[in-house]
Amino acid sequence: METALLNTVMGMSIVFLVLWLISGIIGLFKYINKLEIYLKQKKKSIEIKSETVSSQPVDVEEIDVAEDLDLVAVITAAIHAYEASNGNPVPENGLYVRSIRKLNKSRWQNA
């Protein structure tokens, strides 16, 4: 009988000790998150400093969308159909697409 009571007490104490350790680890998560944010900001500031130091001109590759006439024609037709379906006046001499730019937003951000 005495060993059964000792086994029960030991088992319960081990369970509560493990639960206490898990609770402590979960409590440290908020500090881990703050540490990650701090390290990311520090890394970004180092990258910004290194970018401002460079004095060489950066080559920017421009994509000329005007060369792709099929794409321009499809976009112009879509704009014309949209304006006509909403009852907006569409010029008889046609629409002129002056610039086409890609939005870097996901569909969830546009909703």
DSSP 61-73: PPP-GGG-HHHHH
Distances (CA, A) of 26 to 19, 22, 31, 38, 41: 11, 6, 10, 20, 24
Q: What is the pLDDT of residue 10?
A: 96
At 64, phi and psi to the nearest 5?
-90, 105
Amino acid sitting at position 47: E
Q: What is the pLDDT of residue 9?
A: 94
Which residues does the chain have with pLDDT short of 50? none
Domain coordinates in residue numbering, the chain? 1-52, 65-102
Q: Is the pTM of this model over 0.75?
A: no
Per-residue pLDDT tens digits for 8-26:
999 999 999 999 999 999 9
Tokens 């112009």, residue located: 76
Cα 26 from Cα 33, distance rounded (Å)? 12
Q: What is the pLDDT of residue 22?
A: 96
Q: What is the pLDDT of residue 60?
A: 57
Q: What is the pLDDT of residue 67?
A: 64
